[in-house]
């Protein structure tokens, strides 16, 4: 296994990633694996054959479509990792910013060989994260003024959860639990194993008294059970809008309520207007289209 050191990012980019709530060591490990995968133990044969070794140029990453950018510091980290300290990296857009086609979001000057080697890993990460932020913003805009928030799930790409959940935040959404250990979510299979929804809730509360507990229910009767037991948050699974309104009435502010299952951008406003606190949208991370961002090379004169 190749070891990747976060020292290759430089102090400024390392600090920027940390300020965004990202672990620089995890980011550099992901970048290193992406770069290693691209070269596969060899060299970039096209660039090696066509570009003089010492040629320098500037590469601009430019939005081809409108959207919300996320991952600009991550893309900068890719270029810092590959190009080294002699490269000049300028971030031209801020994560969470809406951009129009033709907007340059990042500009890097360095050896052409290095720029072209870093180009695809940087675009893959930037386009993917910006796609998530763009999709999230669409949901956030759809429920604006309702008091509800859009929340992600654990349906993330293996190894990229922290980055993808960061992109959700850039789009204006909020994060659900990051891992199985920082909060409990009692789902239908746990209920079956424990012998009932109230029993499952009590088992978690007894074993891990300091951990927030969310319970999934699929009926108003189950809702009454878990509210009586003292659940902190209740996930309303595949409830109709009318059932959600009734759930809000019965809840009377005792727990936070999260709508889940079968939600669409077209129904988002109606669901949010029922009075639930969250809309759980797995599609933010598992189905968001990549935002089209391209790379334009400018040779030094």
CB 240 within 8 A of CB 218: no
Q: Known catalytic residue: 165? A: no
Q: Known catalytic residue: 216? A: yes
Q: Which among 39, 50, 94, 103 is positioned nearest to 299, based on CA atoms?
A: 50
Query: What sign does the dihedral 180-186-191-195 (CA atoms) show?
Result: positive
Q: Which of 33, 65, 154, 155 is catalytic?
A: 155
C-alpha to C-alpha distance for 279 and 139, rounded to whole angstroms: 9
Chain position carrying tokens 């299952």: 261
CA angle 261, 222, 268 (to 5 degrees): 25
Q: Known catalytic residue: 54? A: no
Q: Which of 64, 187, 254, 298 is catalytic?
A: 187
Helix 161-170 vs helix 112-142: crossing angle, to nearest 10: 60
DSSP H or E segment with residue 216: strand 213-217
Q: Which of 33, 56, 65, 120 is catalytic?
A: 120
Query: What sign does the dihedral 146-149-153-155 (CA atoms) show?
Result: positive
Q: Which two tokens stand for residue 10?
A: 């430089």
Q: Which of 16, 216, 225, 258 is catalytic?
A: 216
Q: 86: alpha, beta or left, given left = phi > 0 and alpha = psi -120 to 50?
A: alpha
Provide the annotated active-site residues.
120, 155, 187, 216, 237
């Amino acid at each position: 296994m190749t070891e990747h050191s976060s020292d290759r990012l430089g102090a400024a980019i390392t600090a920027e990633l940390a300020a965004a709530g990202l672990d620089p060591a995890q980011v550099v490990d992901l970048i290193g694996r992406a770069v290693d995968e691209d070269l596969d133990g060899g060299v970039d044969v096209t660039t090696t054959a066509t570009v003089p070794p010492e040629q320098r140029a500037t590469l601009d990453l430019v939005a081809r479509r409108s959207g919300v950018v996320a991952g600009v510091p991550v893309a900068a980290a890719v270029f810092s990792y590959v190009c080294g300290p002699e490269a000049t990296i300028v971030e031209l857009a801020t994560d969470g910013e809406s951009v129009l086609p033709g907007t340059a979001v990042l500009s890097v000057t360095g050896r052409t060989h290095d720029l072209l080697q870093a180009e695809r890993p940087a675009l893959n990460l930037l386009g993917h994260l910006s796609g998530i932020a763009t999709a999230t913003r669409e949901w956030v805009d759809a429920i604006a003024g309702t008091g509800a928030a859009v929340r992600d799930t654990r349906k993330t790409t293996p190894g990229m959860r922290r980055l993808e959940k960061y992109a959700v935040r850039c789009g204006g959404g909020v994060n659900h639990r990051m891992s199985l250990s920082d909060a409990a979510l009692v789902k239908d299979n746990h209920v079956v194993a424990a012998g009932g929804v109230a029993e499952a809730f009590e088992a978690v509360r007894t074993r891990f008294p300091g951990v927030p507990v969310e319970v999934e229910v699929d009926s108003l009767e189950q809702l009454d059970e878990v509210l009586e037991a003292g659940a902190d948050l209740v996930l309303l699974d595949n409830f109709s809008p009318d059932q959600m309104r009734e759930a809000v009435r019965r809840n009377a502010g005792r727990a936070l309520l999260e709508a889940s299952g079968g939600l669409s951008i077209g129904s988002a406003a109606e669901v949010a207007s029922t009075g639930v606190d969250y809309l759980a949208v797995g599609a933010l991370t598992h189905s968001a289209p990549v935002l089209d961002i391209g790379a334009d090379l400018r040779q030094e004169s």
